[in-house]
Amino acid sequence: MRAVGFHSGPAHSRTASTSPGSNAGAGAGGDGDNFDSSDTLHPRAEIELYCQRNSHQLDGWFEPDEDEVANNFDARHDRYRQMIASFTGSNARLALVVVPDASHIAEDLETLVSRLLELERLGTEIRCTDPDRPDALQSGEELLGVGGRSPQRQAKIRDAIVAKASRGEVLGRTPYGYEAGPDGILKPVAEEAEIVKEIFDIYAGPWHAEDSKPLGGPGMRAIARSLNERGLLTRTGRPWSALAISGILKNRTYLGTYTRYGVRIAGSHEPLVDREIFNRTEAVTRTRKPVRKRAVEPPYLLGGIVRCDLCGRGLFGLTRRRTWKRVDGTTTSKSYRYYECPSRNARNERTEDVARHSSWHAEELEQIVLQDVERWGERIKKKLRPIVGDTAADEVGEAERDFNRAVRAVASAYGTLNDLVAPLERLENARRAGADPKSENTDKTDLARLLQEVQSKNVSTAKIAVSAVVERVIAGEQLVEVLPRF
């Protein structure tokens, strides 16, 4: 079969024997596809030896010049296009493409898949001289990463993280009540540690007999309210919430146990809570956790972009349900949706002289924002720079995961290259959607579509559109300010 060699360097050969009887060619398989290549072989020599062993007629080269800089992606791309032109021009002669491994033909996994698909459409393929990974897709899965992220480098980073975790050293943010000591081990922070102990003691309540129901003490909201009334704040300077209290009560770090990245070390640092109190806390939580069927709630249109004008915290979506009996004895219920600031304390904010944190009926606040967007004139629209923001990043991340899963499946012989067309298109589209929002080439058609989708009856569609064109919504007790994305 006719073949062409393609490689990206190094520019100068190293001494190596390429004769049929050399050690470099020893151990060839019966089908002639596999052989033991020497690490000292130059890529050109590897390709020549491979073609010799497999009876391929090698009559063309696409390789770097001697003065080409290593890892020159532009030069590699130009060389690849020259090769494609030789397969498709007026004097076209199709050939098998032989490379040492997938890293010589592409710098990332998505580029490799795109080129494999293009070559398949032309009627040819890429073969690697690497005896362990002769299939180009398998080689790419091992050597290349999505978006140019090296899987070997990522593996080394993971190994370093796990090694650090196995020594009990702090990784990431330290839990409330602790700090990282000079040796990297968690050390108690006196003031915070006392608050942690207090939270556990209050919630667990007084001791009870083993056969009695663990009634416990005040609930998480009550504890958070008590800490806030005393002027105590979290480490980030924010008021306490039931969610913050719940995070502390569930954290086994306070038992002196370190758990990260699959590594668990008991007694790695000084505990703040006795095991008996921690177990009692878990028992109380189990008795207070209602067993209910989770209702599927539609997303909140302004989630992630609306903030309280008083404290700047993001408002969260809150659903309250009311059930009552009619005169005829039948039962009915209704749901009420709100946007509410987590700093809000309805009990303390009842008096007129106390500033109130934001709380809005969802439908009312959403209607105000949508009407404001609808009134935007041409001056604002011309300045708009839509960006899907976190939603775009999430979409790219999800598309990358789907693409990786598809590549692994096809590389394992579950499917064909054509099964990678749709995942690759989705990844490319997601990246384009998250492109530089400051670009002067903003697609006006997309902008018009987004402004139209803001009013969509499909909440998920409308939410993406609103997040794309609205930077922030500042919600006060009476006034609402909508800030466009400029």
Q: Report yes or no on 472 lying in a domain.
A: yes
pLDDT tens track for 383-406: 888 865 455 556 677 788 888 888
- Which residues fall within 8 angstroms of residue 359, CB to CB, at 6 or more apart? 338, 339, 340, 341, 344, 346
User: Do residues 447 and 149 touch, judged by C-beta distance below 8 A?
Assistant: no
The pLDDT score that the predictor gives to residue 169 is: 56
- 18 and 142 fall within a common domain: yes
Residue 93 binned pLDDT confidence (cut-offs 50, 70, 90): confident
Number of Cβ within 10 Å of residue 97's Cβ equals: 23
* CATH code: domain of residue 62: 3.40.50
Number of Cβ within 10 Å of residue 300's Cβ equals: 21
Alpha-carbon distance 136 to 125, whole Å?
A: 9
Q: Report yes or no on 353 lying in a domain.
A: no
Lookup: tokens for 208: 């009870």
The pLDDT score that the predictor gives to residue 361 is: 92
Could you tell me which of 137, 144, 150, 126 has the C-alpha nearest to residue 47?
126
- 135 and 197 fall within a common domain: no
Beta strands 96-99 and 126-128 are parallel
Q: Report yes or no on 45 lying in a domain.
A: yes
| pTM of the model as a whole | 0.44
Could you tell me which of 120, 186, 128, 196 has the C-alpha nearest to residue 424?
120
* CATH code: domain of residue 225: 3.90.1750.20
Between 231 and 351, residue with greater pLDDT: 231
The pLDDT score that the predictor gives to residue 410 is: 86
For residue 113, pLDDT beyond 80: yes
Q: Report yes or no on 156 lying in a domain.
A: no
Question: Residue 109 sits in which domain range?
Answer: 2-149
Alpha helices by DSSP H, listed for 289-440, are: 362-374, 378-383, 390-411, 421-433
Q: What DSSP string describes 195-208?
A: HHHHHHHHHH-S--
Residue 15 binned pLDDT confidence (cut-offs 50, 70, 90): very low
- 374 and 410 fall within a common domain: yes
Is the bond leading into 10 cis (omega within 30 degrees of zero)? yes
Q: What DSSP string describes 422-440?
A: HHHHHHHHHHHHTS-TT-T
For residue 115, give the H/E element and its range. Answer: helix 109-122
User: Do residues 229 and 297 touch, judged by C-beta distance below 8 A?
Assistant: no
For residue 184, pLDDT beyond 90: no
- 271 and 385 fall within a common domain: no
The pLDDT score that the predictor gives to residue 212 is: 55
Compute the average pLDDT of residues 195-222.
Answer: 79
Number of domains in the chain: 3
- 412 and 477 fall within a common domain: yes
- 284 and 310 fall within a common domain: no
- Which residues fall within 8 angstroms of residue 121, CB to CB, at 6 or more apart? none
The Cα-based distances of 428 to 109, 118, 146, 228 in angstroms read: 12, 16, 11, 48
Alpha-carbon distance 248 to 220, whole Å?
A: 10
Alpha-carbon distance 286 to 439, whole Å?
A: 53
